[in-house]
C-alpha cells in the first residue's frame, strides 16, 4: 500500500477534474424540487415504469454513513475519466468509483452502498458507480446518452446539494438534493451537468433489473 494522500493532495486531485408517463405530476421540462414519498423498498414495474423522486430516501444515519466513507473519506479512491457521456465524447472530465459491474463486486468499498441496495429489489445489477463532477465556472451540460441499449431500471442517489441537475430529455430537470433518489428509465436519453455553487457534484448511479 502506498503513502496515504494528504487532504490537500486529494483536494487537488478532485479539483482537476452524471418517466415516461406520470411525470406530468411534477411538471414537464421544469426543475423539480418538491418532496417525494419515501419507500421502504422500491421495485417499479418495467411495463408501467415512470420517473419517481423520493426525498429523504435514507435515514440521516445511513446518508452520513455513505458520505463519510466516500466523498468525505480521504482514502476513498477516485479514478479520472476524460469523457462523460460516452467514449471519446470530449464533453468533460469527471471522477468515478465503480462498486459493481455486471452483477459482480468491483470494489473493496462495496459496503458503502449497502444502505441503498437494501432499498431496492433487484435480480441483476448491471452497475453501481459513484460519479464526482468538479465545479466549473459556468454550468456545463454533458452529452445526451443512454446507459444500456435495452429496457432496465435506474436509480440516482444524490450525495450533496448543489445547482447541478439530471436532465431527462423532453421530460424534466431534476435538482441535486442531498439524500434524494431519482428512479428513472436509463435506456431513455438523459444527461448530467456540473455545478457552480459547490466544489463538486456527487451522486451514485445504479442500473438494475
pLDDT at 1: 46
Enumerate the domain spans of the chain.
Answer: 44-208
Cα distances (Å, whole numbers) of residue 118 to 9, 41, 43, 51, 99:
34, 8, 11, 20, 15
Find out whether 19 and 184 touch, Cβ atoms under 8 Å.
yes
pLDDT at 41: 53
Task: Please state the three-class secondary structure of the chain as a single string.
Answer: CCCCCCHHHHHHHHHHCCCCCCHHHCCCCCEECCCCCCCCCECCCCCCCCCEEECCCCCHHHHHHHHHCCCCCCCCCCEEECCCCCCCCCCCCEEEEEEEECCEECCCCHHHHHHHHCCECCCCEEEEEEEEEECCCCCCECCCECCCCCCCEEEEEECCCEEEEEEECCCEEEEECCCCEEEECCCCCEEEECCCCCCEEEEEEEEEC
pLDDT at 156: 98
Q: Which three cell numbers stand for residue 139?
A: 454550468
pLDDT at 7: 42
pLDDT tens string, the chain, 209 residues long: the values are 444 444 443 433 443 333 223 333 333 333 444 344 444 455 555 545 679 999 999 999 999 999 999 999 999 999 999 999 988 888 999 999 999 999 999 999 999 999 999 999 999 999 999 999 999 999 999 999 999 999 999 999 999 999 999 999 999 999 999 999 999 999 999 999 999 999 999 999 999 99
pLDDT at 88: 86
pLDDT at 13: 42
Domain 44-208 - what CATH class? mainly beta
Amino acid at each position: 500500500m502506498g503513502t496515504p494522500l494528504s487532504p490537500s493532495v486529494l483536494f487537488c486531485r478532485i479539483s482537476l477534474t452524471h418517466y415516461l408517463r406520470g411525470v406530468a405530476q411534477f411538471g414537464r421540462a421544469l426543475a423539480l424540487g418538491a418532496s417525494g414519498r419515501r419507500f421502504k423498498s422500491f421495485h417499479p414495474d418495467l411495463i408501467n415504469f415512470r420517473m419517481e423522486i423520493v426525498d429523504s430516501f435514507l435515514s440521516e444515519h445511513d446518508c452520513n454513513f455513505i458520505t463519510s466513507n466516500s466523498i468525505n473519506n480521504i482514502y476513498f479512491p477516485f479514478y479520472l475519466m476524460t469523457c462523460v457521456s460516452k467514449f471519446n465524447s470530449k464533453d468533460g472530465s469527471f471522477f468515478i468509483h465503480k462498486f459493481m459491474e455486471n452483477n459482480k463486486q468491483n470494489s473493496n468499498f462495496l459496503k458503502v452502498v449497502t444502505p441503498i441496495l437494501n432499498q431496492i429489489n433487484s435480480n441483476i445489477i448491471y452497475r453501481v458507480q459513484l460519479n464526482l463532477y468538479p465545479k466549473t465556472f459556468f454550468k456545463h451540460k454533458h452529452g445526451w446518452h443512454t446507459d444500456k441499449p435495452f429496457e432496465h431500471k435506474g436509480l440516482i442517489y444524490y450525495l450533496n446539494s448543489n445547482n447541478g441537475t439530471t436532465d431527462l430529455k423532453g421530460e424534466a430537470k431534476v435538482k441535486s438534493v442531498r439524500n434524494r433518489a431519482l428512479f428513472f428509465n436509463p435506456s431513455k436519453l438523459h444527461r448530467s451537468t456540473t455545478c457552480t455553487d459547490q466544489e463538486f457534484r456527487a451522486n451514485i448511479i445504479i442500473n438494475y433489473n
